Structure 1
Amino acid sequence: MDDRVAGALSLPEDWPALPDLSLALNRMGSFDWDLDSGLMHMDQPALDVFDLRAEEYDDQPASLSLRVPADEGARLDAMVKQALKAGRESYGAYFRCRLRDGSLRWTHTQGFIRRDAEGRPRRILGIVRDASQELADSAARQELDEERRRRTSLVQATSAALAHARTVQDVIDVLKNSRGLAHLGATSLVMGLLEAGRIHLVADGPEGSFVPGTRYTRVDEQYPMSEVLRTLDPRFIETSEDFATSYPELWSQVGHLGITSAAYLPLIAQARPIGALGLLYDDRSGFAADERNLLVSLSSSIAQSLQRAMLYEQEHDLAEGLQQAMLPRRIPEVPGAQVAVRYRSARMGRDIGGDWYDVIPLPGGRVGAVIGDVQGHDTHAAAVMGQLRIVLRAYAAEGHSPATVMARASVFLHELDTDRFATCIYAEVDLTTGVMQMVRAGHMEPLVRDPDGSCHKLFVEGGLPLGLSAEFGRLDYPVSTVELDPGQTLVFYTDGLVELPDTDFDAGMRLLTDMVRNGPQDIRRLADQLCEAVDEHGGEDDVAVLLLHRDAAPTPQPGGRLRQHVAQNDPEALSSARHMIRAAVRAWGARERADEIELAADELITNALMHTDGGAIVTIRILAGGERRLRVDVEDRSSALPRRRDAGDAGVSGRGLMLVDRLADVWGVESRGGGKCVWGEFLIPERFERAGRPERREHHQLPGHSDGSDGSDDPEEPGGPGRPGPSRRP
């Protein structure tokens, strides 16, 4: 049987081959390095690796310097010495050797160290081999692996960028502006969205590539986008000839662009086609299998982003429509002033917010200006804002004082049983006098720009935000009375104008102040510029702006009225009321009688504060009629009527009512439900003549009311203890 097997195999005579032959065929050679003598024997295959002839090598390692560059030789020597010193049994390294023609070739050596019984190295046996092809193959594999990693990274990077896209245009910008197209080799892209059975082209490729009549196309037309939406399969056009043959009508329009291939991909989200994407190439043909898989994977990520973007745009449009419906549809004309309002919805973050503004016409030529911000950034905030704006407007139009308007609005918001609160600032402005009565509920203080362009913050004492003040029972909102001079501009704003990304509040306020100071004089252009600045700085909150510019002071008209509440033990409120009266008297042309009117009003206010249980409401107005009369009303909650009495020569009180009687042209008392009103009127002739004024004023009394001549001490007497009335010569 052994004979049959041997005969059947018919092996060659030189089988098995000698080791030298096997090494030579594999471009390897061997060496034997005696460390004691320093001689290194190399066989012919080893010399061939170094491109040396036999006569060029004398068994001295130094002879290899002819082929091994100095830096490579030094590195190899250091490596061998380290192996010998460390007691290792072998070493190996890649190095370059210089061939006879001067080129460099990668070579590999591996040595095995033999040691004596004491461990001293005596001999190194090893091999050298040509490693150029090995490293070339390895580099190719590394390049292929790197290409695969790059493509995977491309999908990941593009998907990450698309995750931040909020609109369809954001998606298009991500694809066009990222390096994804460049990595894929695409020249440009086209994109269409499916709308009511038609394809709406939203990105039309390179400049000059738009084909007239293709902005909207049907799904059944002979276009590549139509085809992929019908079949839901990608279409890879590998050559220009393929493009021209498959879509001749389209090719006739785009053939001049030099397109050599294209990839059209359906955009499918939740098993429903929403559009198609086309990638155009001008320097390649064909698509490998892994490239096709990559593009299909990328199209899936793009489709998901597009669907989110379209849903976001729909919801944002709905929310913004709700917000706009809640804001005033028009701003009324305000005689004596210019008004500009703006609302800018948030560009980033949640849908919308609860910012609002309003301008409310009030009786007597006055106007109410309000701006506020409901907590939150959603449709709920917008709904609460709409309700709050309406009730605040209603309370103001009913004629309530600013403090009452704010308190009632806070109670209303609290009773809505919502978890939202609101900041707000409300100003009642008399444009005839320029007097403003302002109430602030947790909102930021306004700015005022002067005619010369300078800008400063307006201090307005504040209370708790609306809703919170009712919850904690702190509904007493302080009223600040200030003047807006002709040519000045009042600037109301919400926090989105100053709370900008990477900027603290103080820096935001400085930026706003600079913009108002250096902005255009026209308040409409200024309002636009403020909103544009927020866009430039990437503001993420919505913004409301209200600007009110007072023109030159108009001629006083009958019906002008100012009102302020003065609480007991509140010297600031009393000072504010005096300031209001002084400004109104000057503005309404009664400057000659200013001292008399202020003194009489001060007596009435002081009496109400000292001799009643509550505060006083002061109203000053111009009466309509033939004669121009200025009237001061002081209301309190006491029903006890004042009585005039004789203070005597040494008395320090008791002269108040006599003083009012002397100063006012006419005065009187009226019952007002749970209280009363003491009033005085002052004639304001066109040209005041002091000598022509009557010595005695008419005294209107309630029926049955005594003139107080019995000298009894009346607690309601306007002068009050400790306030002697100055004598006045008739």
Structure 2
Amino acid sequence: MADRGASARSLPDDWPAHPDPILALNRMGSFDWDLDTGLYHMDAQAHEVFDFGPGEFDGRPDSLELRIPVAEAHRLDALVAQAMKDGSENYGAYFRIRTRDGSLRWTHTQGYIRRDDTGRPRRIVGIVRDATQELGDVEARREHAAQDEARRRQTNVVQLTTAALAHARTVDDVIDVLKDTQGLTHLGAASIVVGLLEGDRIVLAAEGPQDSFVPGTRVTRVDEPYPMSEAVRSLSPRFVESPEEFAERYPGLWQHIIGLHITSAAYLPLIAQARPIGAVGLLYSDRRGFSPEDRNVLLALGSSIAQSLQRAMLYEQEMDLAAGLQQAMLPRTIPSVPGCDVAVRYRAATLGGALARDIGGDWYDLIPLPGGRVGAVIGDVQGHDTHAAAVMGQLRIVLRAYAAEGHTPATVMARASVFLHELDTDRFATCLYAEADLATGVVQVVRAGHLDPLVRGGDGGCRRVAVEGGLPLGLSAEFGRLAYPVGTLELDPGDTLLLCTDGLVEQPGADLDDGMRVLAELVESGPADVRALADRLIEVAEARRGDDDVALLLLRRRAEDAPRRGGRLQQHVAPGDPEALTEARHMIRAAVRTWGDEERGDEIELVADELITNALMHTEGSAIVTLRVLEGADRRLRVEVEDSSSALPRRREAGEAGVSGRGLFLVEALTDLWGVEARGGGKCVWSEFVVHAPGDR
């Protein structure tokens, strides 16, 4: 080390510094270097650190070069010079010294720089100590560092695998993570085998690399002599540390996997909530034996896999229950309605971008109505849970009931809103109800906070039909706004009505109107067949992986077999008004002569008279008589008698002298088809007669 002093200057009064006795107790030596005179004083412990005997060190820094190699001396000089230059108060460094026997050993020094009032360095006081024990042999330190790195990598593998498993929602997802994650490759596993416990059997869920399946192990019993079975039985891992041990302990299994060149294996029980749910086996082809650290890492990995599998199993059980509830709430079948083609589809939400599905409150329904009419319903109850599905099921049933009672579309929607408001729930629902007369193509639409319908024309063009709407179901009743406006549109033969929920339209960050335009473009470019078009739209929704349910109903009006009305006559008959009754009979007779088969005229007139008489005798109100012709596969004349009573007609036994009780038997005997329909607060009794057009006979 260079001489930094000038001997002409005198030493400080407190030079050299007296070391603290505690330094010697800790095998530390001290030094005091006066930079002005260049004198370098070391105490006895410092002499021992530098391996100087008595009188070997003369107090000059240059004499230290006897013990400090040149390269180390240059490095220390540069370190001290930089500390003095940049104003540092201290410095520290590890360096090597050469002992009197020529060997090198590590030493550590710490120096404290004292400056005058101008900031100029005047003196360095510090300590030196033997650092051999602290640092040890360089190779030993490298080996230790390598072991630490290996442990870190293994721990990192467990962390990465656990993080990947956290996103797995189903058992298949968990298996895919175990087979595909790079973490297992980093662990060195050549193959992985996963078995799930079902009763007293272990069912193989993952079978390792291709062409590695062992015959007879797809399903094994827990009591069979396999390592996976042993792990499940004992609830403890089985480590096989060599091929010889594998062949000795499991000869039946070894003979089938000998071609895989397995050198060791670890079979870990999968335990969740203190009970086994399966086992996982890791097979290696490039290692023998397992250190305690290896075993701990693998046990941690097995615990993480077990928790993920249990979570996935519980999720699948819940999904099975939820899906069953969802299917029970939706219509099991869609009825075939003459005059139209119908396609319905439902797609559950994909939550969090995952493949697993959840349930919700979206639904569709198709309701056949009298007179060639049909009701189409699409709706969405707020929420994505079993409660939403349960509310949806109840709402679907009451909507169907109100429509079947013969209420107008606006009344159907208002009553459904009141029902939902009075239900013990905080949910609301959007809904659209469309009642289509397939004979005329006229569609009455009522919208409760739902999307507008779309109509695809026979030429392929698609348009959005703006319909004035009301509040969602439940909210309109709560705020007393139950008057729903009714919109009207027409379906020409070949036109298709499209109703859907917002899951088919809405996309994050996109405007709803833009979504409707995109949907219209998809419909225009889609196939003409309603089933193929429905499949196409659901495929788009699947590819989008939206986080909302999708319900879809397509109704296409056919022309070739749609019932066509040849005419319609109606007469109001008040009780106690003989003239109105006479006029009704004349109307029936004239209609039969004009529209029907005169040979059945007496039968038709007799049945109509019986229905009118029953309505006037057994109810307190008037009767409305309607006659119409339905032309389809068969030409039919339909007689409807509507009254204000909800009491259904019933057969009664007439005595020998009785003058009543035979009416319904007469109706049943003379008509081709008859029935009763609810109409609002009353009912309609109808009869149909197959007739020939005049001149067709």
In the superposition, the TM-score normalised over structure 1's length comes to 0.64
Alignment match, 2:315: 312
Q: Distance in 2 between matches of 1:115 and 1:629?
A: 121
- How big is the shift at 1:561? 8.8
Change (3 A) 1:187 1:560: farther
- How big is the shift at 1:32? 8.0
Alignment match, 2:661: none
Q: Distance in 1 between matches of 2:140 and 2:680?
A: 104
Q: Distance in 2 between matches of 1:300 and 1:187?
A: 21
**1:303 maps to which of 302, 306, 309:** 306
What is the identity, as a one-letter code, of the residue corresponding to 2:374? V
Q: Distance in 2 between matches of 1:344 and 1:229?
A: 39
Change (3 A) 1:117 1:401: closer
Is the aligned partner of 1:286 residue 2:289?
A: yes
Native 8 Å contact 1:267 1:303 kept in 2? yes
Alignment match, 2:465: 458
Tell me the SS of whatever aligns to 2:374.
Answer: strand
**1:241 maps to which of 241, 244, 248:** 244
What is the identity, as a one-letter code, of the residue corresponding to 1:230? R
Tell me the SS of whatever aligns to 1:187.
Answer: strand
What is the identity, as a one-letter code, of the residue corresponding to 1:441? A
Structure 2: any 5+ residue segments left out of the alignment? 1-43, 98-103, 571-623, 644-678, 683-692
- How big is the shift at 1:117? 8.3
**1:432 maps to which of 421, 439, 464:** 439
- How big is the shift at 1:476? 1.3
Q: Distance in 1 between matches of 2:475 and 2:194?
A: 51
Alignment match, 1:214: 217
Alignment match, 2:166: 163
Q: Distance in 2 between matches of 1:19 and 1:673?
A: 111
Q: Distance in 1 between matches of 2:637 and 2:227?
A: 84
Native 8 Å contact 1:559 1:621 kept in 2? no
What is the identity, as a one-letter code, of the residue corresponding to 2:443? M
Native 8 Å contact 2:192 2:283 kept in 1? yes
Q: Distance in 2 between matches of 1:482 and 1:31?
A: 114
**1:253 maps to which of 250, 253, 256:** 256
- How big is the shift at 1:346? 2.8
Trace 1:626-641 onto structure 2 (pairs within 5 A).
none
Tell me the SS of whatever aligns to 1:545.
Answer: strand
- How big is the shift at 1:673? 13
Q: Distance in 1 between matches of 2:465 and 2:512?
A: 17
Change (3 A) 1:137 1:498: farther
Q: Distance in 1 between matches of 2:176 and 2:522?
A: 31
Q: Distance in 1 between matches of 2:504 and 2:192?
A: 38
Summarize deviations over 1:102-127 as a string: whole Å, max 9, x none.
xxx99988585887988865788999
Native 8 Å contact 1:107 1:129 kept in 2? yes
Is the aligned partner of 1:521 residue 2:531?
A: no
Q: Distance in 2 between matches of 1:134 and 1:352?
A: 65
Q: Distance in 2 between matches of 1:141 and 1:281?
A: 25
Trace 1:91-106 onto structure 2 (pairs within 5 A).
91-93=91-93
- How big is the shift at 1:219? 0.7
- How big is the shift at 1:230? 0.7
Change (3 A) 1:258 1:505: farther
Alignment match, 2:22: none
What is the identity, as a one-letter code, of the residue corresponding to 2:171? V
Q: Distance in 2 between matches of 1:425 and 1:433?
A: 21
- How big is the shift at 1:220? 1.0
Native 8 Å contact 1:111 1:124 kept in 2? no
- How big is the shift at 1:235? 0.8
**2:551 maps to which of 544, 556, 576:** 544
What is the identity, as a one-letter code, of the residue corresponding to 2:491? L
**1:326 maps to which of 329, 332, 342:** 329
Alignment match, 1:82: 82
- How big is the shift at 1:266? 0.8
**1:405 maps to which of 387, 412, 435:** 412
Q: Distance in 1 between matches of 2:90 and 2:329?
A: 85
Change (3 A) 1:414 1:43: closer
Native 8 Å contact 1:448 1:490 kept in 2? yes
Q: Distance in 2 between matches of 1:445 and 1:351?
A: 26
**2:348 maps to which of 345, 348, 357:** 345
Change (3 A) 1:504 1:252: farther
Alignment match, 1:478: 485
Native 8 Å contact 1:429 1:437 kept in 2? yes
- How big is the shift at 1:419? 2.1
Change (3 A) 1:458 1:31: farther
Is the aligned partner of 1:449 residue 2:459?
A: no
Q: Distance in 2 between matches of 1:284 and 1:30?
A: 56
Alignment match, 1:376: 383
Native 8 Å contact 1:430 1:561 kept in 2? no
- How big is the shift at 1:417? 2.9
Change (3 A) 1:557 1:520: closer
Tell me the SS of whatever aligns to 1:314.
Answer: helix
Is the aligned partner of 1:386 residue 2:408?
A: no
Native 8 Å contact 1:186 1:282 kept in 2? yes
Alignment match, 1:182: 185
Alignment match, 1:415: 422
Structure 1: any 5+ residue segments left out of the alignment? 1-16, 35-39, 51-60, 98-104, 564-617, 636-671, 676-685, 688-730
Q: Distance in 1 between matches of 2:514 and 2:680?
A: 52
In the superposition, the TM-score normalised over structure 2's length comes to 0.66
Native 8 Å contact 1:441 1:466 kept in 2? yes
**2:228 maps to which of 225, 240, 243:** 225
- How big is the shift at 1:273? 0.8
Q: Distance in 2 between matches of 1:674 and 1:47?
A: 112
- How big is the shift at 1:156? 3.7
Native 8 Å contact 2:359 2:549 kept in 1? yes
Q: Distance in 2 between matches of 1:261 and 1:562?
A: 91
Change (3 A) 1:452 1:225: farther
Native 8 Å contact 2:409 2:446 kept in 1? yes
Tell me the SS of whatever aligns to 1:558.
Answer: strand
Q: Distance in 1 between matches of 2:567 and 2:242?
A: 83
Report the count of equivalent residues.
536
Summarize deviations over 1:599-629 as a string: whole Å, max 9, x none.
xxxxxxxxxxxxxxxxxxx999953599999
What is the identity, as a one-letter code, of the residue corresponding to 1:392? L
Native 8 Å contact 1:501 1:537 kept in 2? no
Native 8 Å contact 2:204 2:218 kept in 1? yes
Alignment match, 2:498: 491
Q: Distance in 1 between matches of 2:626 and 2:476?
A: 29
Native 8 Å contact 2:193 2:281 kept in 1? yes
What is the identity, as a one-letter code, of the residue corresponding to 1:225? M
Native 8 Å contact 2:338 2:563 kept in 1? no
- How big is the shift at 1:279? 1.7
Q: Distance in 1 between matches of 2:335 and 2:302?
A: 52
Is the aligned partner of 1:355 residue 2:343?
A: no
Q: Which moved more, 1:390-399 or 1:344-353?
A: 344-353
Q: Which moved more, 1:158-167 or 1:314-323?
A: 158-167
Native 8 Å contact 2:378 2:431 kept in 1? yes
Alignment match, 1:703: none
Q: Distance in 1 between matches of 2:569 and 2:207?
A: 63
Tell me the SS of whatever aligns to 1:371.
Answer: strand
